Chain A
């Protein structure tokens, strides 16, 4: 199934689409207000972009520096080439401690590696502690947004889920009541957890420490209560110095939700006395993307989700229509790197309007990369054959002015003289499902121009 098919299903529910679109537009508008209020915001974007470019150009050096510093801080460092290695390393650490109860704060990387199913199938209880993540975990769904993983759900949906899994009253939709139920449910898991897994927003090469940004404080609660902390990070999370961090924390929350800063920005540098800290550094296709000059800049992403909130296609098609861990415009340039065949329709799920590039806090040229992926996919024959052949035919037509004139005339006359039921048949002409065709004029511009030239002044 391609993006268009899944998207058509989502947009088929017109009211839910309106609600989804307006909810995300509200976040975009909040972001705008927060951004307009910082006069140097565009300079910050430029600075962040340059820091990331620089870091990626010397990634090997910074990774080694980070490892060395972290080890000096008493942190165990693990390297994972792919998802399977990442999952095996984490399961191994958990088993070494004879642990079975794990809490996990938000981490798109562990989603990308499908860590939860791996741990569950090995007898480990893993509980997502971010509220949105917990809701979708109970429903056995994937996140539909980077920052707002359950944004596709209404409070009625959450009420139904909690009724089923947490024992709240049937039909309960009061956010206060539902949140309290989740809080009590999660508190018990926090207290029982032996291992806490977290993601990483930023890893500082200079200090060997990692930074986790949350609005719920759930990462801190997990890490500080459990005996073992495992932080999972992609190799692209690095920044060189601690002093660079401020640039990113100012950009991240404003771009994501319009907040001046996330509620909790927690630094984890070394384990507390008697405890253990592990960092798993993961590649999983990232060096491959680093080796694609046209798409390298996609690794600058700080996962703020601003491109999703602004994307007019994402807002109307929902995150699940992308069928990839990272949905939206950024997901559409990251996913073909992982699996070109499976995700071949994603770079086409865009009008190339460019709004994603303009909101991106690290200035990733997202829409330019979407265009470039289309060419890569076209060359690799990963676009529908019908499209390929019609474009070849069009190429012939458009290199010959004569053929173009005749073809245009045929089209105009076709619309004019064929019955409406045929020109607007939805099975042959998807344009006409929701739109009228243009009214064909008597003559084309070139015919008019020729006539003018032939008419004596």
Chain B
């Protein structure tokens, strides 16, 4: 099994520890992933801004970088969703099709491809899970509250297998945090308010460690937590599951 690690652009630059934790976690689970140095970004920021045409060269670069791998794993459901869904704008060569089907979110890869249901480890904290929309609704990594009251999902199960962990129950299980890519800038006022409401839900319900599978939502929520100087740590789930923190 030839596996590549895709580290989203902003994770590469601002959250290298998330890339490191992803790499190490995969290794612990028996997968040695490579990091192709030519990688940059999936092109989502441009496409979501209405500039899909300008993003096509980025898509092609992505395909050139990753088409030789059986799986391309990324600690971000949003980027994976973008590759799977929106690379339909490219001519569907075997390489493009390969890249689209091989793209996996880290948690999805661990659960679905590796078939892992439990992670050995201890994390004695009150952990609040932020479900990211693209992973949840786009890649079906967790149940949607619009469909069912059952709050189940891949990450909830994996985190729940850690010793000593306590998952907080939110008032609004899967409401969007308001990041939304360039939305966070073009609709800054609403974006901030949504993030503040999301953090408040965690605060109200006793979260001390806020986590999720998508660093982009967490970057936005962390920005609010730090502005308000709350005693709440914000970590990508890979960091918790890898046992790099306790």
With a cutoff of 8 Å between Cβ atoms, the chain B residues found around residue A357 in the complex are 137
With a cutoff of 8 Å between Cβ atoms, the chain B residues found around residue A371 in the complex are 47-48, 86
- How many of B's residues come within 8 Å of A, CB to CB? 74
B9 to A408, Cβ gap below 8 A? yes
CB distance from A268 to the nearest CB of B (A): 33
Q: For residues 189 through 206 of chain B, which have their beta carbon under 8 Å from a beta carbon of chain A?
A: 189-197
With a cutoff of 8 Å between Cβ atoms, the chain B residues found around residue A377 in the complex are 50
CA distance A221 to B176 in the complex (A): 42
Q: Does A433 contact B (CB under 8 A)?
A: yes
CB distance from B24 to the nearest CB of A (A): 11
Q: Does A335 contact B (CB under 8 A)?
A: no
CA distance A310 to B178 in the complex (A): 13
With a cutoff of 8 Å between Cβ atoms, the chain A residues found around residue B52 in the complex are 375, 378
CB distance from A53 to the nearest CB of B (A): 21
With a cutoff of 8 Å between Cβ atoms, the chain A residues found around residue B145 in the complex are 32
The stretch that binds A, out of B53-61, B104-112, B121-129, B162-170, is: B53-61
Main secondary structure of the interface of A (DSSP, over half): helix
Q: Does B28 contact A (CB under 8 A)?
A: no
Given contacts A4-B189, A351-B180, A408-B9, contact A445 B20 (CB under 8 A): yes
Main secondary structure of the interface of B (DSSP, over half): helix
A355 to B137, Cβ gap below 8 A? yes
Q: Does A120 contact B (CB under 8 A)?
A: no
Q: Does A245 contact B (CB under 8 A)?
A: no
* Contacting residue for A353 out of B35, B51, B180, CB 8 A: B180
CA distance A391 to B195 in the complex (A): 25
B186 to A387, Cβ gap below 8 A? yes
Q: Does A456 contact B (CB under 8 A)?
A: no
CB-based A-B contact count at 8 angstroms: 217
CA distance A242 to B187 in the complex (A): 45
Q: Does B1 contact A (CB under 8 A)?
A: no
CA distance A371 to B85 in the complex (A): 11
Sample (25) of A-B pairs whose CB atoms are under 8 Å apart: A7-B190, A8-B189, A12-B189, A313-B194, A348-B50, A351-B181, A352-B133, A353-B176, A355-B176, A371-B86, A383-B49, A383-B50, A387-B182, A392-B54, A398-B40, A431-B223, A433-B188, A433-B189, A434-B188, A434-B227, A435-B195, A438-B14, A438-B222, A445-B20, A446-B35
Q: Does A137 contact B (CB under 8 A)?
A: no
Q: Does A448 contact B (CB under 8 A)?
A: yes
Given contacts A32-B146, A378-B49, A431-B185, contact A449 B179 (CB under 8 A): no
Given contacts A378-B52, A395-B54, contact A358 B37 (CB under 8 A): no
Nearest B residue to A434 via CB reads B192
A446 to B12, Cβ gap below 8 A? yes
With a cutoff of 8 Å between Cβ atoms, the chain A residues found around residue B196 in the complex are 434
**Contact digits for B87-122, partner A, Cβ 8 Å, 1 yes 0 no:** 000000000000000000000000000000000000
**Contact digits for A351-378, partner B, Cβ 8 Å, 1 yes 0 no:** 1111101110000000000010011011
With a cutoff of 8 Å between Cβ atoms, the chain B residues found around residue A17 in the complex are 193
* Contacting residue for B175 out of A312, A349, A359, A449, CB 8 A: A312
With a cutoff of 8 Å between Cβ atoms, the chain A residues found around residue B20 in the complex are 445, 448
CB distance from A272 to the nearest CB of B (A): 42
**Contact digits for A421-457, partner B, Cβ 8 Å, 1 yes 0 no:** 0000000001101111110110111111110000000
A358 to B14, Cβ gap below 8 A? no
Q: Does A401 contact B (CB under 8 A)?
A: yes
Give B contacts to A, CB under 8 Å: 7, 9, 11-17, 19-20, 35, 37-41, 43, 45-55, 57-58, 61, 86, 133-134, 137-138, 144-149, 172, 174-176, 178-197, 219-220, 222-224, 226-227
CA distance A313 to B186 in the complex (A): 13
Nearest A residue to B61 via CB reads A399
Q: Which of B45, B50, B192 has the most CB of A within 10 A?
A: B50
* Contacting residue for A316 out of B40, B41, B184, B193, CB 8 A: B193
With a cutoff of 8 Å between Cβ atoms, the chain B residues found around residue A408 in the complex are 9, 12-13
CB distance from A423 to the nearest CB of B (A): 12
Nearest B residue to A397 via CB reads B40
With a cutoff of 8 Å between Cβ atoms, the chain A residues found around residue B40 in the complex are 397-401, 404
With a cutoff of 8 Å between Cβ atoms, the chain A residues found around residue B186 in the complex are 4, 348, 387
Q: Does A264 contact B (CB under 8 A)?
A: no
Q: Does A106 contact B (CB under 8 A)?
A: no
